[in-house]
Amino acid sequence: MPWPAQISVRNEAFRIGVDFSISVSGAGGNDTRVRAAAQRTIARLARQTGLPLSLTNPADRSLTTEALMTVAVERRDHAGPQKLGDDESYALLISSDRIRLSADGPLGALRGFETFLQLVIPCVGDSPGFCAPQVEIRDQPRFPWRGLSLDVSRHFIPIDGIERTIDGLAAVKLNVLHWHLSDDQGFRVESKKYPKLQQLGSDGEYYTQAEVRDVVAYARDRGVRIVPEFDVPGHSTSWLAAYPNLASKPGPYHIVHSGADPMGAIDPTKDSTYNFLDGLFTEMAKLFPDEYFHIGGDEVSAREWTGQPRIKSFMKSHKLAGAKDLQAYFNKRLQKILAKRGKKMEGWDEILQADLPKNIMIQSWRGSKSLAEAASQGYTGILSAGYYLDLMQSSAQHYAVDPLSGDAGQLAPEEQARILGGEAAMWEELVTAETLDAKLWPRLAAIAERFWSPRTVTDVASMYARLDAVNRWLEWLGLTQRSNLELMRERLAANAPVGPLDAFASMLEPVKGYERHRTPYGASTPFNHLVDAIPPESDSARVFRDAVDSYLANPTEEAADALRAQLKAWSRAADDVRPLLESNSLLEEDLPIADSAQVLCKAGIEALSYAKSPAPSNWKQQTLEAVKDASKHNAALLIPFAPAVQKLVETAQ
């Protein structure tokens, strides 16, 4: 995952042994990224297989040696940073005794290494060991822009979390980390020109310039671009805490720690504003070499401007009809500042203005219609609507969204070509460094497939089967999406056995969308409840829902027995965990959800017994009411197999 553009598989396999080695050649074979990736491949292969593989530098080997994997890279890359549209194609041929990876450029070799590592599994048959199937793969991405927008303002993510995320992006062939570095809750990069930004606007949690340079280099080694975002003119309260003269109205301002804290916006009418932004963005442009620079531009409250007599007078004298026109004025001046620094401006939907240069890029959070509008006007764009991972939606829901669906699918071919791909988004109101991996993975791998693979790759059952394997594989890379949640549940269980809590948790999911945001959160909000210690999607509930659909289409007794067994197991789990819930102050809030689970299990078991014999006259109505009540949210948790139980009840005789 992602599924390749072309693949053919044979029944034979290549066996991985302790003599496994890699050689590199070609004009691009001396690229430091290729050599480093070859070494990482051997190290990761050793970890995946447990084999004591040699870490001799692959660059020291020539093709005349007996290397079992040969990597041929035809050409060197251009100087400077990785760019949008750099060649990522590769071919991978695995035979019974050799592996050949060939690519036109270094990035293709990096992508091919990841494909190879995913193919290594325990050998089939009597002989123990690890093998890779004999395959021929020719592969290239569908879209050139495939990324993740990561908010580190609302909850700061330390460097190890950023680098671990970059490793994950590279593993599933995503190539952009859009680093959302400032918002009302914090300004997260050291500025030497305006040091109050980190001194007064970060709560002491920010990245030094040396750390930023290290991350940029780390990402480049793995074929990932870093696009910074400094959100202006809204979402900028942390700036105003440091430099209140930037504000459109008097303060005082401080970092936003809760929903009750005042928020402000930058004043677009003062020349001093643009002098400040010119200085800051000149400094930041040197830190971030990518050709794109994201200025945010979203969700600016018109009242921050239209309520100020001085700003209203400015708008009148400049013939600006409203706040939207004033923001367009701001964006045009900002675009010129960035252009002087060799940057292309990127922003959210709200920056779209027909007289801006056509080389700006629109990131759409509003949806396909907004994206299509930008493309029809000649602007490039990417889609994020439908890929908001913080909303806790299922992999299948994200997988069904295509950048070229909806209004975008109705565009002319030359307009569709302006849609460059998409970015998943992780806003971190409810996410911390501890839970980051679990909220990103493995769903982000499914989105990565949507961006990379041919449009025809849409089989959801296949996606989930492969996603399960990829999820386990990513842990070998060093991600913690499963292990951290296990540790969090152990923390909740304290000295009690964690097994009953694990079994109970396996049937639950967090509430979806913005439901949980209704409970106020802030910088000091603890995220240490059961809802924080479970993945966004319950695999067992999904399998049960599919099994119910299959049973209703073909109601065999064998299928009914399997459904009944699962419901009984869940009912026991809800019963077994009760003593722990009753005795633990952090878990006591989950007692109602345990009650609801038992109601649902009882309803499902009874419905199966009435599949062929009539139910009592008032049973169905009463049970449907009970199911409806048990389907309600409690402690920000829901029971995702409830809709399947409802189907069983509805179809009972």
279-293, 315-329, 430-444, 518-532: the lowest-pLDDT one: 518-532
Contacts of residue 339, Cβ cutoff 8 Å, sequence gap at least 6:
345, 357
Q: Tokens in use for 514?
A: 């913005």
Q: Which residues are marked as active site? A: 299
The string of pLDDT tens digits covering residues 411-425 is 999 999 999 999 999
pLDDT at 501 over 60: yes
Q: How far apart are CA 21 and CA 26, in angstroms?
A: 17
The predicted pLDDT at position 219 comes to 98
The predicted pLDDT at position 522 comes to 80
Q: Tokens in use for 274?
A: 């643009």
Q: How far apart are CA 91 and CA 7, in angstroms?
A: 10
Q: How far apart are CA 617 and CA 621, in angstroms?
A: 9
Decide the pairing of beta strands 225-232 and 292-296: parallel
| Band of residue 64 on the pLDDT scale cut at 50, 70, 90 | very low
Tokens 């869940």, located at residue:
570
pLDDT at 360 over 70: yes
The predicted pLDDT at position 63 comes to 40
Q: How far apart are CA 149 and CA 178, in angstroms?
A: 4
310 Rama sector, left if φ>0, alpha if ψ -120 to 50, beta otherwise: alpha
Amino acid (1-letter code) at residue 225:
R
pLDDT at 65 over 70: no
Query: How confident is the model over 465-491, as a mean pLDDT?
Result: 97
Its pTM stands at: 0.96
Q: Tokens in use for 317?
A: 């004298």
| Band of residue 61 on the pLDDT scale cut at 50, 70, 90 | very low
With contact defined as beta carbons under 8 Å apart, do 360 and 347 qualify? yes
Domains located in the chain, CATH noted: 6-139 (3.30.379.10), 193-205+232-357 (3.20.20.80), 483-651 (no CATH)
Indicate the angle between helix axes 591-609 and 557-576, nearest 10 degrees: 160
- Percentage of the chain beyond pLDDT 70 is 98
The string of pLDDT tens digits covering residues 311-337 is 999 999 999 999 999 999 999 999 999
Tokens 């924080």, located at residue:
532
97 DSSP assignment = S
With contact defined as beta carbons under 8 Å apart, do 368 and 407 qualify? yes
**Quick one: which of 296, 510, 479 has its CA closest to 391?**
510
The predicted pLDDT at position 127 comes to 77
The predicted pLDDT at position 66 comes to 62
Query: How confident is the model over 383-403, as a mean pLDDT?
Result: 98
Q: How far apart are CA 90 and CA 118, in angstroms?
A: 15
Indicate the angle between helix axes 323-340 and 309-317, nearest 10 degrees: 80
HSE (side-chain half, CA atoms, 13 Å) at 603: 30
**Quick one: which of 309, 311, 357 has its CA closest to 331?**
357
Omega within 30 of 0 (cis) for the link into 2: yes
Q: How far apart are CA 590 and CA 594, in angstroms?
A: 7
Q: How far apart are CA 137 and CA 126, in angstroms?
A: 27
Query: How confident is the model over 204-225, as a mean pLDDT?
Result: 98
| Band of residue 62 on the pLDDT scale cut at 50, 70, 90 | very low
Average per-residue pLDDT in the chain? Answer: 95
Omega within 30 of 0 (cis) for the link into 526: no
The predicted pLDDT at position 58 comes to 53
**Quick one: which of 33, 31, 22 has its CA closest to 67?**
22
72-76, 414-418, 639-643: the lowest-pLDDT one: 72-76
Nearest 5°: CA angle at 76, between 73 and 78?
140
The predicted pLDDT at position 595 comes to 98
55-59, 372-376, 383-387, 475-479: the lowest-pLDDT one: 55-59
The string of pLDDT tens digits covering residues 581-632 is 999 999 999 999 999 999 999 999 999 999 988 999 999 999 999 999 999 9
